Amino acid sequence: DIQMTQSPSVLSASVGDRVTLNCKASQNINKYLNWYQQKLGEAPKLLIYNTNNLQTGIPSRFSGSGSGTDYTLTISSLQPEDVATYFCFQHNSWPDTFGAGTKLELK
Amino acid sequence: VQLVESGGGLVQPGKSLKLSCSASGFTFSSYGMHWIRQAPGKGLDWVAYISSSSGTVYADAVKGRFTISRDNAKNTLYLQLNSLKSEDTAIYYCARGTTGAYWGQGTLVTVSS
């Protein structure tokens, strides 16, 4: 199975900061990497699919990049409503697997 | 697009439960569907996938105990949970497509004596 490792596990940042979240796969996942945002008490929401495609309705301050085993989610200017846990997800090969998540907090 | 899960509840270890996911707002038969779960306070755990042609894949932790199925005439996805264990306690979500673009709000399954 492909293991997905997210870092950091907790990130504290200020409003307006540029924030970078990382996700590393245990093997090449050919850019089949999605990012989800989960706010407290809510279902996860798709932000980015296949590394760098912004889901409809998601603000443009969110962007994704990466290739091979290393992927990044960037928030260009952190907003208060971005406080959430972010999960990466690989769907290159079965079984699909999630990272453990990065909890994003306001400083 | 709307996905509504149902069928969760409190069940004893070793017992069974069947979850449903009612879909609307899209052509259900054209999409593969996932079940994904989340234990209380924990991360996301992929459970199973069924393709539009009803091919299935399972996580090792549930293989042989859980069965994913679909009824395209009823626009409904199912997950049959057998031989339940305490570690199966979680919110169970259904999600549409290989990208998981849309999720339901989940249904809570609690396995406890």
Chain A / chain B CB contacts < 8 angstroms = 51
The residues near A8 (Cβ < 8 Å, ≥ 6 apart) are: A22, A102
CB contact, 8 Å: A63 with chain B? no
Q: In chain A, what percentage of residues exceed pLDDT 70?
A: 100
- Cβ <8 Å between B45 and A36: no
Q: Is residue B104 within 8 angstroms of chain A, CB to CB?
A: yes
Residues A16-26: pLDDT tens digits? 999 999 999 99
Of A43, A94, A97, the CB nearest to B106: A43
Rounded CA separation A24/B24 (Å): 35
Show residues of chain B in contact with A43, CB under 8 Å: 93, 103-106
Categorize the per-residue pLDDT at B81 as very low, low, confident or very high, splitting at 50, 70 and 90. Answer: very high
Q: What is the pLDDT of residues B50-61, one digit of tens each?
A: 999 999 999 999
Beta strand B107-111 with B9-11 is parallel
Tell whether A99 is within 8 A of chain B (Cβ).
yes
Whole-angstrom Cα distance, residue A5 to residue A13? 21
Confidence of residue B98 (pLDDT cuts 50, 70, 90): confident
**Tens digit of each residue's pLDDT (9 = 90 or more) over A79-89:** 999 999 999 99
CB of B49 within 8 Å of any CB in chain A? Answer: yes
CA–CA min distance A49, chain B (Å): 6
C-alpha span between A95 and B29 (Å, rounded): 22
- Whether residue B100 is predicted with pLDDT greater than 90 in this model: the reply is no
Instruction: Give me the pLDDT at residue A14, please.
Output: 97
For residue A91, give how far its alpha carbon lies from the nearest alpha carbon of chain B (Å). 7
Closest listed residue to residue A42, CA positions, set B104, B98, B35, B46: B104
Write out the two tokens for A2.
Answer: 């492909």
- By C-alpha distance, the chain B residue nearest A46 is B101
Q: What are the chain B neighbours of A96 within 8 Å (beta carbons)?
A: 34, 46, 49
Instruction: Say if residue B17's pLDDT is above 90.
Output: yes
pLDDT digits (tens, 9 = 90+) for B38-80: 999 999 999 999 999 999 999 999 999 999 999 999 999 999 9
- Which range, of B52-56, B84-88, B94-98, averages the lowest pLDDT? B94-98
Is pLDDT of B99 > 90? no
B1 has a chain A CB within 8 A of its CB: no
Read out DSSP for B9-31? EEE-TT--EEEEEEEESS-GGGS
Nearest by CB: B105 against A43, A50, A55: A43
